[in-house]
Structure 1
């Protein structure tokens, strides 16, 4: 497998999907429907999914594809696959808050090896490199790359005062109780997989998630964070978060810079 070609194609598709999403986002109005799990879906989710899925299937026909918007892909039992959330943070999209992303990842033997996270409303693009690192590309436009910079976690977080990022739409008391175990310098909130990316760039040190997520919500951001030197572990036993689980449900997890001393029960 030519992984540099895979990453280039994932980047290209994320940018094209972002263009389609922004056309709908900037329209005066758009339809919002409710799926069977009570989560919202819009025409932007569906347009982005169709574009990305067609592109990935054409370029990588032999790799299984799992995507949020295609329920028929959720029954697979796979450990190596492509996984897509075409519009992560639909609630942020509907409320026009800008904290939504396009997520595309490649999972190999249960580990998110490569990922692309694109926040089109913020003109921020994060992705892993074929060499195993992670970069941010600012203000990409079509075939014209933006300024690309390597990113890395805060290598020496101050455990006397951490920067914590938490969900903007799914914050709850359990999360607040867990965060209270730490000395916190400041807190910020963000939607979608941007939370992983804030840890990856050193803008935050810790992101705990004590709520339901699916692998398509996390795989791309997880890959970027790992490429930047960070870790994502299960909340219960602090083992690495694995992928390809039945139904693609995640347990609670913690994303963090390695220098953070995790609280224990």
Structure 2
């Protein structure tokens, strides 16, 4: 894999998809349908997926591709592949709350090594560079070429005063009970894969997820967090969260800065 080319392609496709998403988001109305699992899907999900999938297949025709919106890709049996969630945080999109993201990642041997997370309504974009370090690009964004970037790194957490981020749409009592095991200085809610990015930038120290997610929900944010020095582990045994699992479903997990002293839930 040519990582320099990959970075350029992923960044450009994320921005182009973001433009399509925002055009629909800012319209007076848009259609919302329900998938077989009762989760919402909009024309923005489908338009972004079509654009990203076509772009990835053109640029990397020999690389397997998994994408949320194409069910036939969910039968893939591979450990190295591209994986896409064209609009993570559809509930946030439908409610016009802004915390939704475009997510594209490369998984190699079960590990997310490269990725981009773009939050078009927030004007924030995070990605791994050609050598795997994570950066945040400072807008406005030009599709033709990257602008100014800053390297991002996880925090050096104070375990007596932790900064916690949790899901906005999927917060439950089990999550609150787990957070209460820690000494917390501040707890915030955020939607979509932005939670990984807040840990990656040091704006939060830990993000526990005690709920259903799929690999396309997490791979790009996981890659960005890895490139910023962070970790993502299974909730049950604190081993690294691996990818390429059957059906691409994740167990519960914890994303965190390594200085956090993890509790057993």
* Bin for the TM-score computed over the shorter chain: over 0.9
Give distance in 2, aligned partners of 1:91 and 1:264: 30
Matches within 5 A, 1:154-233: 154=155, 156-233=156-233
Tell me the number of residue pairs that the alignment of Structure 1 and Structure 2 aligns. 264
Residue 158 of structure 1 and its aligned partner are, at CA, apart by 0.4
Indicate the residue corresponding to 1:109 in structure 2: 109
Give distance in 2, aligned partners of 1:90 and 1:143: 28
Q: Is the 8 A contact 2:3 2:131 kept in 1?
A: no
Give distance in 1, aligned partners of 2:264 and 2:70: 38
Residue 129 of structure 1 and its aligned partner are, at CA, apart by 1.4
Indicate the residue corresponding to 1:50 in structure 2: 50
Matches within 5 A, 1:24-173: 24-139=24-139, 140-143=141-144, 145-154=146-155, 156-173=156-173
Residue 76 of structure 1 and its aligned partner are, at CA, apart by 0.9
Indicate the residue corresponding to 2:18 in structure 1: 18
Query: What's the C-alpha RMSD, in Å, of the aligned pairs?
Result: 0.8
Residue 170 of structure 1 and its aligned partner are, at CA, apart by 0.1
Q: Is the 8 A contact 2:34 2:41 kept in 1?
A: yes
- Output the TM-score relative to the length of structure 2: 0.98
Residue 233 of structure 1 and its aligned partner are, at CA, apart by 0.2
Residue 144 of structure 1 and its aligned partner are, at CA, apart by 5.1
Give distance in 1, aligned partners of 2:46 and 2:120: 16
Residue 264 of structure 1 and its aligned partner are, at CA, apart by 1.9
Matches within 5 A, 1:244-263: 244-263=244-263
Give deviations 1:103-137, integer Å, cap 9, x for gaps: 00000000001000000001110001121210001
Give distance in 2, aligned partners of 1:144 and 1:105: 19
Any gaps of 5 or more consecutive residues in structure 1?
Answer: none
- Output the TM-score relative to the length of structure 1: 0.98
Q: Is the 8 A contact 2:98 2:121 kept in 1?
A: yes
Residue 248 of structure 1 and its aligned partner are, at CA, apart by 0.1
Which stretch shows the higher mean deviation, 79-88 or 127-136? 127-136
Residue 199 of structure 1 and its aligned partner are, at CA, apart by 0.2
Give deviations 1:84-104, integer Å, cap 9, x for gaps: 000000000000000000000
Residue 52 of structure 1 and its aligned partner are, at CA, apart by 0.2
Give distance in 2, aligned partners of 1:224 and 1:244: 18
Give distance in 2, aligned partners of 1:207 and 1:219: 15
Structure 2 counterpart SS, 1:4 = helix
Structure 2 counterpart SS, 1:85 = strand
Which stretch shows the higher mean deviation, 129-138 or 226-235? 129-138
Give distance in 1, aligned partners of 2:240 and 2:69: 26
Q: Is the 8 A contact 2:163 2:203 kept in 1?
A: yes
Give distance in 2, aligned partners of 1:214 and 1:119: 19
Which stretch shows the higher mean deviation, 141-150 or 243-252? 141-150
